[in-house]
Every structure is written in structure tokens, then in C-alpha cells.
A and B are shown apart, each in its own frame.
Chain A
Amino acid sequence: MQWLLDLTPDEWDAVRLSIKVSAVAMVFSLPPGIIIALLLARGRFWGKSILNGIVHLPLILPPVVTGYLLLITFGRRGPVGAFLDQHFGIVFSFRWTGAALACGIMAFPLMVRAIRLSIEAVDRKLEAAAGTLGANPLWVFGTITLPLILPGIVAGMILAFAKAMGEFGATITFVSNIPGETQTLPSAIYTFTQVPGGNAGALRLTIISIIIAMAALVASEVVARRISRRIDIE
């Protein structure tokens, strides 16, 4: 057990960074995730299937491709990256924020899918009933729709977090593998496998990865059960 916790400072950094990157990716992709899921589930507009395709693209493309696309758009010289740098001082390339962006984009389709399914499962008759009771559309969303899709939102968040924890290809392509800045758990494990005698370190981080993933799953299970008990679907 001691062997497992005997991590070098660099390894601790990788664990902490992975959790931070995944959490930030999960939180920041939630609001656009809900909006896009609503658009895809309820919206009727031209180009809906194109939007759907774009959202799902990171799931289908090789992660390296996504990472490269991020590099040429959000890199310092990329159109979006240069704009953000000049006007807001926000830099993504070779920073942990870039890792979070890459993880968020890679996890986005999973989050949208989970939320969209739960929105499609909401009985719209309940929303109509709330309307006849005097609630305007915004109130209906806040008091009926949102509470009913909460399990889907939680599931989407957990999925996004787990996906972000495991993200490797897009991250390493976009922000490289800098210890203490962009070296997440998968990158650290990869680094260990590239040097002689790195097996023990790789195994340690692998076990830690498994523990974090399991903890996240158990936590989501507990939260989901609590919510579904509160909702008490017939």
C-alpha cells in the first residue's frame, strides 16, 4: 500500500492536474451541453443534422486530428487563439487550460447525448399542464423540465469527467506533455512506458487511475439513486 502512495512530486502533479483538468472541462461544458441538447431534442431549425454532426465529430475523428484542429485554431497563431490572447489574455496552447479545452471537446458528445436522451424522455404533457397552471415557458423549464432531466445531467457530467480523465491523443497533440503544466495521468503513464525501468511508475499511476474512475462511478451511482428517489417516477 505504501508503495502505491510513494509518488514522486511529478507523479502527484499529474494526479492533481488530471482531476483539475477533468473537473474544469466538465463544469464548463455543462451549460453549452444543456443548450445544445435542448436544441437537438426540441429544436426545429435548418441545419439541425449539421449541428448534430459537428457535436459528434470528436467521437468519430481520431483524437490526434481533433488535437491538431485545436492547435491550428486555438494555438497562439491560430485565428481564435490569437483573438483570445490579444483581447482577453487567454492562452490555451501548452497550458493546462488547453488540456481542459481538449478534454471538454472530446467529452462533449457524450455529455450532450446523455442530456438529450433525458430531455426526450420528459413527458411534454407535464409541461403543458404546468403552462395551464400559469407558468410561462421559462418557469416551466426551471420547475418541471430541469428537475426531471437532472439524472441525465448527472450521468452526462460523470461520463464527461471519466472521458476527460482518460483523454490522451487530443491533449498531447494540442498542449504537449509538460510535467506540472499539461502532463495528465495518461500522458505521465505514456512517459513512463517510454523510459527503461518505468514499469513500476506506470503501474502505480494505472492503479490510481482505476481508483479515481471507480470512485467517480460510485459517486454518480449514489447521486443518481438519490435523485431518482426524489423524483419517484411512476
Chain B
Amino acid sequence: MSLSVALRHRLGDFRLDVAFESNGRLTALFGPSGSGKTSLVNLLGGLLRPDEGRIVADDRVLVDTSTGIFVPKHKRRIGYVFQDARLFPHMTVSQNLRYGRFFVPNAERYSDLDGVVDLLGIGHLLDRKPGSLSGGEKQRVAIGRALLASPRLILMDEPLASLDDNRKAEIMPYIERLRDETKIPIVYVSHSLGEVARLATDIVVLDAGKVAVSGPAPDVLRRLDLLPAEERSEGGVVLDMRVAGYDATFGMTALTSAAGEIQVTGLDAKPGTMARIRIRARDVIVATERPKGLSALNILPGNVASIRTGADPFADVLIDCNGQHVAARITRQSSDALGLQPGLPVFAIIKSVTFDRANTTSFAAGHQAPQDRTTSEKVG
């Protein structure tokens, strides 16, 4: 599945001017409120008609203003999961789920009711009316409804934004299953870096209607300076590591990769499987000597790859740990005091307790996040 987008659209004073391509299984459209994310998905879903541009999904031209092509929304076969679930209030959950099925030709139906109900854990809700469901349940039903229309692409517009943390935690695993167990590509809109880092294989960062950066998730997440200011402290790197063992006495899981060994908590995974961990840059301490007598368990040796400083008091240090990168956000003062410069051998120190559930995700062995693709970056 490939998605190729080049659009120009004007909404009042706001101008959207974006171009990106993605081959990922879950492409996150990420950016602060007002950056044009929702307009962009509405354009993808056919709810808006662009002033100018082209959308091609899987070699199928959905929009091309130069040749006058505009496939209306009911013919796009794009499953849209809205922020406000938008379930039909006069139908039961089961009727809601089956609504889109009816409009799909038999030969093109690939999703079956039982499978979707099972995937989303909504079997006990089938006879209920949407009015009596909790926010999390509604959102799961909405995802199921979109899936059962056998879409070629799923759009999710901040599906978790209106939910509290517990409900978010309830739905997140279902979206991960959707990403890993079905072949349908997903475009996921969010302004939460936590969600994006956990779910995305590819990221498109939007800022003021323009693409700031796009590419595979690990590459984009490393570029702290390109993230929206208010999310910068959430930025960091994503490492795919192998589960080496579990210590039941202390409840610690050991992970290894080329960078070294890391101990995390709160990860429920079998040895040998892969786990993705996110290390926030602000959680990383930089030392020029291997420290002793320190409570932090994770000390990764490496060399300073780059130091990026700006007008603010921070220095974003990228540390090359045997081929894998760890980003650290420290103050410019510390950077000067330590005499950091590219090539200097340093140690990246990470507290194990900084890994919470959202920072560690296990996934099936054999599934490797794309590491080899390069980050495409838009200049200006």
C-alpha cells in the first residue's frame, strides 16, 4: 500500500500546502492543534474537496484536480474513524457494525463480523444502543464499523482524544492489533507524541499547514528540533530491542540490542520476542565517565554524534551507541561544562522507571520496524 498526497487547500485564512508519500502500515499525521491534520484527513476521506492537488492510494487516483477526478466519499472505500464515534443512535451496535457491509460488493468483502467483534472485544455489546455505551466502547464499535465496510485504507482522526487515560489504555492495544494483524494501512491523526511513538511506523509532522518532516517513525522521533514546541519534551528515540530475559524477583525485563542492555519495568513479553521502547530525550543523562554508585540501571556507552543548540537554553545531544542512536536533552550549560563535542566518548544513562506502559510495547518476532529508509525533510 502506498499513499501519495500533494494538496493545496484554503479554508478561510488557513492554507494547507502538503506533499508526502508513505508506505507504512500506520502513518501518523502529527502536529499541534490548528496545524491542518483534520483538514488533511477530511480531504483524504472525501469530506472536503481540495482547491488543487492529487491523492493516490494504492495506484488508485482518488483526487486529481488537473484532470477533474474526484471520487465521492461513498465510493472511496476509506474507513473513517471519527474523534466523536458518530454511531447511528437509532440502530443497535450490531446494526451499526453491519451498516457498511451492505454497500460492499460480495467479492470485495474481506472482513467478517465474528472476526472483527473478536478483534475488538465487543461481543457483549451487540444488542445495545450506542446511547448506553461508554466512550471507549463507542470508539471500539466505531473502529469495527469502519473495518466491516472492508476499506482499503483506514483513517483515524484523533480516536483517543476525547477519552480519559484509562479509556485510552483500553483502546490502544486494539489499534496495535489492527496494525499488526490486518493488512489494512492506517492513517492516524494525533497531537499526542506518546500515542504516535507507540503506534506509528511512519510519521508526517505537520506545522501550520505544511509538512515539517516525514519519514519512518524512528528517524522522525529523533529530530527533536522539528517537533512542535509543546511536545518537544516528549521527543526521543525509539529502539527495537530483543527481550533477553525476565527477572521475577525484581519484576525487571532485560532487553538487548547493538546499543547494549537495558532493564525496563512493566513489560509483559516472552524472551526472544521484539519490543519497542521509547527513550524520551529528557530522561537521558549524559556522563563523560562511567558513573559509580548510581541508582540508574541503564548505562549505554557511545560517542557524541551531534549537538544541536538553538536560542533556548537546551542542547539536544545525539549519542551513537554502536550504530543505534539515543537522544538526550540537556542544558547548554551542562553541555559546555562537560565540554561535549562530536566524537567524544560518553555514557547515556537512563532510569528504568522512566519506561512506563506507553514507552514499551512488545510485538511479534519477525516484525522489524523499518530502519533503513531515510528521513525526507522539507527545507523551508
Partners in one complex: yes
Chain A interfacial positions (CB closer than 8 Å to B): 123, 125-126, 128-137, 139, 143-144, 147-148, 230-234
Give the shortest distance, in Å, between B94 (CB) and chain A (any CB).
14
Contact A128 B47 (CB under 8 A): yes
Q: Is B79 an interface residue (CB 8 A)?
A: yes
Residues of B whose CB lies within 8 Å of any CB of A are 45-47, 72-80, 82, 84, 86, 88-90, 99-100, 102-104, 129-132, 145-146, 149
Which of chain A's residues have a CB closer than 8 A to the CB of B103? Answer: 133-135, 139
A147 touches B80 (CB 8 A): no
Q: How far is the CB of A130 from chain B (nearest CB, A)?
A: 7
Is the Cβ of B86 less than 8 Å from the Cβ of A129? Answer: yes
Q: Is the CB of B131 within 8 A of A136?
A: no
* B90→A130 contact, CB < 8 A: no
Q: Are A129 and B90 in contact (CB under 8 A)?
A: no
Cross-chain contact of B73 among A132, A143, A230 (Cβ < 8 A): A132
Residue pair A232, B131 in contact (C-beta under 8 Å): yes
In the complex, residue of chain B having the shortest beta-carbon distance to the beta carbon of A137: B74
Chain A nearest Cβ from B97, distance in angstroms = 10
- Jot down 7 A-B pairs with beta carbons below 8 A, ordered by A: A125-B82, A125-B84, A128-B47, A132-B47, A136-B72, A143-B99, A147-B90
| Distance between Cα atoms of A126 and B89 in the complex (Å) | 9
**B334 → chain A closest CB, angstroms:** 50
Could you tell me if B79 and A132 are in contact, using CB atoms closer than 8 angstroms? yes
| CB atoms of A231 and B89 under 8 A apart | yes
Report the Cα distance A230→B129, complex, angstroms: 9
Chain A residues with CB below 8 A from B47, complex form: 128, 131-132
Is A232 within 8 A of B45, CB to CB?
Answer: no
**Given contacts A132-B45, A132-B46, A134-B104, A148 and B90 within 8 Å (CB-CB):** yes
Q: What residue in chain A is nearest B138 (Cβ atoms)?
A: A234
Residues on A with C-beta less than 8 A from B78 are 132
Q: B131: which of A135, A143, A147, A234 is its contact (CB, 8 Å)?
A: A234
In the docked arrangement, what's the CA distance between A102 and B187, Å? Answer: 58
Residue of B whose beta carbon sits closest to that of A129:
B86
Q: A135 to chain B: which residues have CB within 8 Å?
A: 74, 99-100, 103
The 10 closest A-B pairs by CB, nearest first: A134-B103, A133-B100, A132-B80, A129-B86, A232-B129, A234-B131, A231-B90, A131-B73, A232-B131, A147-B90
Provide the bound-state CA to CA distance between A20 and B78, in Å.
Answer: 51
Which residues of chain A are near B72, meaning CB under 8 Å? 131, 136
Are A144 and B82 interface neighbours, CB within 8 A? no
Which of A133, A144, A230, A232 has the most C-beta atoms of chain B within 10 angstroms of its own C-beta? A133
Docked complex Cα distance between A105 and B224 (Å): 69
- A126-B86, A134-B100 given; name 9 further pairs at CB < 8 Å: A123-B86, A126-B89, A128-B73, A129-B80, A132-B46, A135-B74, A136-B74, A143-B99, A231-B89
Residues of A within 8 A of B73 (CB): 128, 131-132
